[in-house]
Structure formats: structure tokens, C-alpha cells
Amino acid sequence: MALPTYHAHTTFCDGRDSAEDMIKAAIELGLSEIGFSGHAPMPFATDWCMTKAGEREYFKTLTALKEKYKDKIRVFVGVEFDAYSSPTDIPYDYVIGSVHHVLKDGVYLTVDESKETTRANIMNYYGGDAYSYVEDYYLTVSRIYEATRCDIIGHFDLVTKFIDKDPLFSESHPRYINARNHALTDLLETPAVFEINTGGIYRGYRNVTFPSLDLAKEIYERGGKLVINSDTHSVKSIDFMLSDVASALDGMGVEYLMSMNQILRVTRQ
């Protein structure tokens, strides 16, 4: 069964391989469609986002590649906006809205850099109260549709990225559950589709997807829509676990969207 992915990074941001190499690999792997989601510029310098000029170049190059390979694979030129990304007028095919930062006391704290950074941020900015940090994260997540008008909600519970290696907080703590559920309930009111992201497993951080399949099932049962994404940063991980997750969801009776057409029909009506 041919599956798509709509979460892919290239050398235009923090990916390892060029967009053309990614497209060729996706064709080789038999993907039905591939969507690119370059990291939009942030209001401060980073080493993982496109620059303003790079963003224009990205859109131009990818639009040409879409045309070049249109008989072999459907390519979509999207973007991954952070809650705090700089606005743009580039007419992307679709938008992923993701939270990679918590804004605390005027400082953008990175959520996914390393467990050491996360631990230090909780100590220095939250007086060691990890659940206050989690609450700020989910508050930001709850506003991601409002902030970005995204079609896809990226890695909903990215804040858990390091907890398998460093149990800074527990996903079964009432304050964690409460914060997460508030964000979930708010986002279920929007048309945005939730991705099930296998990237954390590929990179060896987590044993489960963002969000887990159990949470994905809950989203589905509460009327939310799902799509499986690899959040790939190289030709090696383009289809990582896509079919495993698809089979698991099939076994659970959980449906997921299979094309960009389906996604945009849900989100752009």
C-alpha cells in the first residue's frame, strides 16, 4: 500500500539531503505523495530554520521540482510554522503548525533541543516545577491553529521527547493530563488534522509516536482527523515506520487520511 508523508525537511533548513534527492528517494520507495515542510524563519537567528531569502528560494526550487516530477509523484510545497514564526506571504500548498518553543519571561525556550537544555530551562525559568513548564507548552499548543491557520498539527506532544531518557515529568500526572486534555479539546474544535509523527522513534528518543497510538485513537473517537508523517530529515527516513503505524491503526479500527486532497477538503472548507 502506497503511503504519503507530508513532514519532510531538506538542506533548505535542517535536513541532510537536497529536495531533489528526497523526491527521487520517495519515488524509489513507492510513496504516493510527498509534502515538504521547511522550517519557517523565526524572529531570531537559528541554525535550523530557513532564512527569509532562503524561504523564497525554497518555494521557487520546490515549485519547479513539483512540475519536473509530476508524472512520477505528487509533490506538495508546504511549510512548518512554529507558534512564533515570522509571517510570510508565500502561497504554500499547506501548513504544519508546531510548537518548538515556550515563551517565558520574554525568552524563547526550546522544547526539543536536548534533555540538558530542557532540565536547565525548568530549573532556571520555572523554579524546578516541570508541570508549570508543561502547562505553558500545552497552552501554546492550544493556540497553534489560531497562530498559524495550520492544516496539520505537528508533533502534538513533542514536550515528551526526552522523558524516556530523563523522567522530568510523568504523562500520568494529573497536571500533565489536565494540560494536555485542554489543548486537545481546544484543537478538536478546529479543522486541523493531527499528525502521528514517527520522527522521535527514528531519532531514538521515544518508543512511541507523537502522539502515541492510544492518544491517536482517542483523537479519532472524538471526531479528530489523523495523518501519518515521518518528519524525515534525510533520504534514509522518508518512509520510516509509516506502514507499521498504518497497520497498527488498521488493527485498532482507527482511520487516517491518505492524500493531500483529503486533508485540504477537511481543513479548507
Binding site for Zn ion (CB under 5 A): 80, 98, 154, 231
C-alpha grid cell for residue 142? 492550544
- Pick between residue 71 and residue 95 the one whose CB is nearest to Zn ion: 95
- Pick between residue 237 and residue 267 the one whose CB is nearest to Zn ion: 237
Nearest to 78 by CA among 226, 235, 266, 263: 263
30 CB neighbour count, 10 Å cutoff: 11
Q: For CA atoms 134, 224, 93, 147, give the dihedral sign.
A: negative
Question: Shortest Cβ contact with Zn ion: which residue?
Answer: 98
Q: How far is the CB of 71 from Zn ion (least distance, A)?
A: 28
SS3 158: helix
Q: How far is the CB of 174 from Zn ion (least distance, A)?
A: 27
Q: How far is the CB of 251 from Zn ion (least distance, A)?
A: 27
- Pick between residue 55 and residue 231 the one whose CB is nearest to Zn ion: 231
- Pick between residue 8 and residue 163 the one whose CB is nearest to Zn ion: 8
Angle between helix 242-252 and 213-221 (nearest 10): 50
Q: How far is the CB of 231 from Zn ion (least distance, A)?
A: 5
In a 13 Å sphere around the CA of 146, the CA atoms on its Cβ side amount to 10
- Pick between residue 1 and residue 90 the one whose CB is nearest to Zn ion: 90
Cα distances from 157 to residues 76, 184, 250, 257, in angstroms, run 25, 10, 22, 20
Q: How far is the CB of 253 from Zn ion (least distance, A)?
A: 29
Q: Cα(216)–Cα(220) distance, rounded to whole angstroms? A: 6
Q: Which residues contact 66 (CB under 8 A, 6 or more apart)?
A: 75, 76, 77
202 CB neighbour count, 10 Å cutoff: 18
C-alpha grid cell for residue 236? 534514509
- Pick between residue 209 and residue 250 the one whose CB is nearest to Zn ion: 209
- Pick between residue 14 and residue 129 the one whose CB is nearest to Zn ion: 14
Q: How far is the CB of 46 from Zn ion (least distance, A)?
A: 12
Q: How far is the CB of 252 from Zn ion (least distance, A)?
A: 25
Nearest to 158 by CA among 119, 113, 225: 113
